[in-house]
Amino acid sequence: MELSPLVLILALPFAASLAVVLFPSTSREPATWITGATMVACFALTVSLYPSVASGEPVRYLGAWLPSLGLNFSLRMDGFAWIFALLVTGIGFLVVMYARYYISAEDPVRRFYMFFLAFTGAMLGVIVAGNLILLVVFWELTSIFSFLLIGYWHHNQAARDGARMALTVTGLGGLALLAGMLLLGHIVGSYDLDAVLQAGDRIRSHPLYVPTLLLILLGTLTKSAQFPFQFWLPNAMAAPTPVSAFLHSATMVKAGVFLMARLWPVLSGTPEWFVIVGIAGMASLVLGAYLAMFQHDLKGLLAYSTISHLGLITLLLSLGSPLAAVAAIFHMLNHATFKASLFMAAGIIDHETGTRDLRRLSGLFRYMPITGTLAMVASAAMAGVPLLNGFLSKEMFFAEAVLTHVDSWLDTAAPYAAVLGSALAVTYSLRLIHSIFMGAPPESFPREPHEPPFWMRFPVMFLVMACLIVGIMPAQTIGPFLHVAVSSVLGEATPSYSLAIWHGFNIPLAMSVIALAAGTLLYLVAGNALERSERPLFLGRIDGQRIFERVTVAISWRFARLIEEVFGTTRLQPQMRLAVAAAIAAGAAPLVMAGLAFGDHRNGTTDLAFAGLWGVGVVCAIAAARLAKFHRLAALALLGGTGLVTCLTFVWLSAPDLAATQLVVEIVTTVLILLGLRWLPKRSRDLAEPTDWLLRLRRWRDLTIAVVAGLGMAVVSYAVMTRTPPETIASFFLDKAYAEGGGRNVVNVILVDFRSFDTLGEITVLGIVALTVFALLRRFRPAPDTIERPEQQLIQRSNDEADPDREPGSTEAEYLYVPSVIMQWMFPVVIVLAVYLFLRGHDAPGGGFAAGVAMAAGFILQYMAAGTVWVENRLRILPVVWIGGGLLVAALTGAAALLFGDPFLKSYFRYGELPLVGKVPMASATLFDLGVFSLVVGATVLMLIAIAHQSIRRLRAARLGEERQRWN
């Protein structure tokens, strides 16, 4: 991936997020500086792209992602994306500066900046994504990181609830959006944003237009907290204030309206768009402003005001006129500036006084005049007072609301809703300023308030200055940039508009005056009532949060419980029965549908010896099944019998490698289960044959299932075996094994060369299983009745004690003396056998797996012969080192190929002379096989030793009793 600035803008925040992890969790300075520097770098990179963006042609980057699915990692920055990226990185930087003072030293700052940076990356991803699916991926990332950021103070119940609600709502919206984007891609035939933007007419006339629109709007309206999904935003205010300032004013909630504006040229202009988006926008505008008036929590007021302002933008986008779109984009920028500054001011007030409750705050102006002034100016911008940026976009909004675009009651209502919303905005802005800064100084604050440090106030100051400058000289400051943004969205439809404070005496101005006057009047009349109100008038009983909780509980708890009660069981046997029955059904279905036919492919021999061999094997298997309950040792021996027959079958049927492996595995499996037998309970006779007819019926049912399964397998395997084999990849391997793999044992070459990546995965699994066994046994608590020494040892001891000539324990020490001496003598022989199996593996039957298990068997024989203590006093086996070393050797062998510029695990080979041994293959695959060998040795030994060790532990009977009580 070349380092195009676009990629850098996207990659830097994510990289920085990972870099922050490297610092200690409370290291404040490095994390802050990295975050700040990243924001500045991204900001500068964005600025540097301006000349190319301003020329009208988007900056693009195209990387391969999933080209076979038509998905490209395509990035695209046009004027609209550019101005949003600027907004995100710019406000992001200011918020970092602010957070430096806001987040207290006790909080884990590292986590904050990690999430903050990752969120910034995701947000920038949404902005510059040039592919619909890529956009959705980043969209979901913003939901996830906002969840983590809202829940930053996770010791706080409100934060957890708010985070969960935000994630549920925006996450579900994101899923709907994904479905919508898939439909959109299906309609257009491409997921490329450029192609989609070209295909407006096709999309709007397509029969799937309405479902597509609904799904996409579900995504955008939830993200922007628009009616009827507005309820999550106020609950998200449990987040730290820098998060609210960044996510819930300037960035994340803007992603919804951003996407609506982005797709505006292709989706808007239809009655469906107008009605849905219009109602959502209008309801959010009026309801948000109305509910904002009643809030007593400062951040709650700002949250509802955000809903209202986003509603204004949504309403503008619904109208379908280019001029309204211009106003919408302009208002997105203006709202971000004044709302971010207000949130930060709210944080300062909270920080300095210890409360955000409007009823407790008053008269703060004398304590913090500068912050007070800044907050007043920002509030005035929010209320739409002239000479501030909020006024300009609001005038444009009024002008558009008055015009009739679509002849319907909704359009007729628009100007009235606009004035109402604006009047209420004036009221809540006045309430904010008046109740915090004016009035008598309070009797008591949790803390004595004073002005914050200069640099904490600086971001607020900067943003308020921006509001003022844009408000006074719009055409000279924001004008050209806005034009670039607008024309990138609207293209040729870009209308002519003028950014000016004074457009003469006209209807919008009259509406502004009415709104200002009515809002002020309302506050004068009802201000005190608002201050005292317990809940909002009329709408107080409808609580979005409560409805959400009810629905969540119903779906995720009651419904889940119901399903569990109906379909669930905590018992294993019914589950197994279901699984087996499902397997039988799945196996039988194709036979039923396509019929079953046997072929006439035979290998020509009917060997009675083979049939006799399997006669023994089958009897062993059935007897093992019969005896496994009451005669465990016998069952184990019979299982071994079946295993040996299987092993002989492999020899018989041209699979020497399998036979060798099966043989050694058979040995270690038997040892393993023998070691485990000791810990099982004695089988009491009261569990004998069932007399209950119901139980008998169950056994008959299970027997039927087993017989059906067995018959099915027999029929299916017979059917396959008698058919002439099709052309398979076998001939490829047989052809190339020597020519390209340098080995004559094709099975081994497949394992260590052609399919060595699979083998690497398999030995990794083996290592993990061994470690899991080890870990499980470290905290092993045997049952009390198995703690005593085994019965046999007790008898031997009592004999020793009864006989005056014998030392106690001497029978035990000499038990099986001759076999154990032989086993000790065999140790070097087994090692030589393992080495032999390993070395010949590439050209003749053998190889790392068989050799490894053989070697492990050699070790475990020593344990059996002389006892754990004796062996471990003389021999230090470090199984974990064998495992780790083996995995390392295998992986490094594979990685070595990378040094030669070849793909991972490509092998080399030649033959070399070793003294005494002669000509041996020196393939890199042999080195890989050595890794396999070492890992198999380590894993097998670790599992066996871990179980063997349990017997020599001195067990803690006292602790056991307590634990048992807890479990029963």
Partner 1 sequence: MELTLAIAIGALTGSGVWLVLRPRTYQLVIGLSLLSYAVNLFIFSMGRLRLGAPPVLGPGGSGNPADYADPVPQALVLTAIVIGFATTALLLVVLLAARGLTGNDHVDGREPR
Contacts (CB under 8 A) with partner 1, residues 825-844: 843-844
Would you say 70 or 712 has its CB closer to partner 1?
712
Q: Give the nearest distance from C-beta 812 to partner 1 in angstroms.
A: 24
Q: Give the nearest distance from C-beta 758 to partner 1 in angstroms.
A: 8
Under rule CB under 8 A, residue 656 binds partner 1: yes
**Residue 152, SS3 per DSSP:** coil
314 is written with which tokens?
A: 């949504």
Residue 77's H or E segment, with its range, is: strand 71-77
**Angle at alpha carbon of residue 877, lines to 872 and 878, rounded to 5°:** 125
Would you say 8 or 613 has its CB closer to partner 1?
613
Under rule CB under 8 A, residue 967 binds partner 1: yes
Q: Give the nearest distance from C-beta 708 to partner 1 in angstroms.
A: 8
- Are 139 and 177 a contacting pair, CB within 8 Å? yes
Q: Give the nearest distance from C-beta 711 to partner 1 in angstroms.
A: 6
Largest CA distance in the chain: 125
841 is written with which tokens?
A: 């593996």
Residue 74's H or E segment, with its range, is: strand 71-77
The CA distance from 731 to 725, in Å, is 12
- Enumerate residues 737-756 that contact partner 1 by CB under 8 A: 737-739, 744-747, 750-751, 755
Of these, 195, 655, 831, 897, which contacts partner 1 (CB under 8 A)? 655
- Are 316 and 257 a contacting pair, CB within 8 Å? no
Under rule CB under 8 A, residue 559 binds partner 1: no
- Enumerate residues 659-678 that contact partner 1 by CB under 8 A: 661-662, 665, 668-669, 672-673, 676
Would you say 87 or 648 has its CB closer to partner 1?
648
- Enumerate residues 95-134 that contact partner 1 by CB under 8 A: none
Under rule CB under 8 A, residue 158 binds partner 1: no
**Residue 73, SS3 per DSSP:** strand
The CA distance from 942 to 945, in Å, is 5
Give the DSSP per-residue string, 380-412.
Answer: HHHHT-TTSHHHHHHHHHHHHHHS-SS-SHHHH
Of these, 22, 493, 537, 765, which contacts partner 1 (CB under 8 A)? 765
Under rule CB under 8 A, residue 644 binds partner 1: no
Closest Cα partner for 934 from 861, 864, 863, 883? 883
CA dihedral 795, 799, 801, 805 (to 10 degrees): -150
Under rule CB under 8 A, residue 963 binds partner 1: yes
Would you say 551 or 765 has its CB closer to partner 1?
765
- Enumerate residues 771-790 that contact partner 1 by CB under 8 A: 772-773, 776-777, 779-784
- Enumerate residues 838-877 that contact partner 1 by CB under 8 A: 843-845, 847, 849, 853
In the DSSP assignment, the letter for residue 108 is: -
Would you say 60 or 781 has its CB closer to partner 1?
781
Of these, 680, 832, 878, 914, which contacts partner 1 (CB under 8 A)? 680
Would you say 37 or 644 has its CB closer to partner 1?
644
The CA distance from 159 to 690, in Å, is 57
The count of residues interacting with partner 1 (CB under 8 A) is: 120
Q: Give the nearest distance from C-beta 694 to partner 1 in angstroms.
A: 11
Would you say 279 or 942 has its CB closer to partner 1?
942
Residue 396 CB contacts under 8 Å (≥ 6 apart), including other chains: 323, 326, 327, 330, 331, 497, 508
Would you say 18 or 714 has its CB closer to partner 1?
714
- The stretch among 141-149, 317-325, 496-504, 642-650 that binds partner 1 (CB under 8 A) is 642-650
Under rule CB under 8 A, residue 587 binds partner 1: no
- Enumerate residues 424-453 that contact partner 1 by CB under 8 A: none
- Enumerate residues 700-739 that contact partner 1 by CB under 8 A: 702-703, 705-707, 709-715, 717-718, 720-722, 725, 728-731, 733-735, 737-739
Q: Give the nearest distance from C-beta 968 to partner 1 in angstroms.
A: 7
Would you say 783 or 898 has its CB closer to partner 1?
783
Closest Cα partner for 402 from 513, 510, 271, 501? 510
- Enumerate residues 368-387 that contact partner 1 by CB under 8 A: none
- Enumerate residues 591-620 that contact partner 1 by CB under 8 A: 601-603, 605-607, 610-611, 614, 617-618
Q: Give the nearest distance from C-beta 602 to partner 1 in angstroms.
A: 6
- Are 334 and 392 a contacting pair, CB within 8 Å? yes
**Angle at alpha carbon of residue 397, lines to 371 and 537, rounded to 5°:** 65
Chain centre to alpha carbon of residue 704: 44
Would you say 185 or 938 has its CB closer to partner 1?
938
Would you say 518 or 715 has its CB closer to partner 1?
715
Of these, 143, 170, 212, 642, which contacts partner 1 (CB under 8 A)? 642
The CA distance from 141 to 147, in Å, is 10
Q: Which residue has the tokens 């003072």?
A: 101
Would you say 537 or 618 has its CB closer to partner 1?
618
- Are 301 and 375 a contacting pair, CB within 8 Å? no
Locate the DSSP E strands across 246-295: none
What would the x/- binding string for partner 1 be over residues 916 to 945, using CB under 8 A?
--------------------x--xx--x--
Q: Give the nearest distance from C-beta 763 to partner 1 in angstroms.
A: 9
Q: Give the nearest distance from C-beta 917 to partner 1 in angstroms.
A: 18
Closest Cα partner for 883 from 763, 761, 772? 763
- Enumerate residues 487-526 that contact partner 1 by CB under 8 A: none
Would you say 778 or 876 has its CB closer to partner 1?
778
**What is the 3-class SS of 286-331, one letter each residue?**
HHHHHHHHHCCEHHHHHHHHHHHHHHHHHHHHHCCCHHHHHHHHHH
The CA distance from 94 to 39, in Å, is 9
- The stretch among 282-290, 342-350, 401-409, 763-771 that binds partner 1 (CB under 8 A) is 763-771
What would the x/- binding string for partner 1 be over residues 257 to 296, using CB under 8 A?
----------------------------------------
- The stretch among 131-139, 331-339, 471-479, 654-662 that binds partner 1 (CB under 8 A) is 654-662
Would you say 360 or 577 has its CB closer to partner 1?
577
Q: Give the nearest distance from C-beta 859 to partner 1 in angstroms.
A: 15
Residue 64's H or E segment, with its range, is: strand 59-66
- Are 819 and 862 a contacting pair, CB within 8 Å? no
Would you say 393 or 940 has its CB closer to partner 1?
940
Closest Cα partner for 248 from 235, 260, 261? 235
- Are 314 and 258 a contacting pair, CB within 8 Å? no
- Are 238 and 164 a contacting pair, CB within 8 Å? no
Residue 120 CB contacts under 8 Å (≥ 6 apart), including other chains: 13, 38, 39, 42, 88, 89, 92, 251
Q: Give the nearest distance from C-beta 665 to partner 1 in angstroms.
A: 5
Of these, 4, 408, 649, 793, which contacts partner 1 (CB under 8 A)? 649
- Enumerate residues 561-580 that contact partner 1 by CB under 8 A: 570-573, 576-577, 580
Residue 856's H or E segment, with its range, is: helix 848-866
Q: Give the nearest distance from C-beta 885 to partner 1 in angstroms.
A: 18
Q: Which residue has the tokens 């087996």?
A: 580
Would you say 36 or 743 has its CB closer to partner 1?
743
Give me the sign of the Cα torsion angle 362, 367, 371, 373.
Answer: positive
- Are 892 and 937 a contacting pair, CB within 8 Å? no
Q: Give the nearest distance from C-beta 623 to partner 1 in angstroms.
A: 9
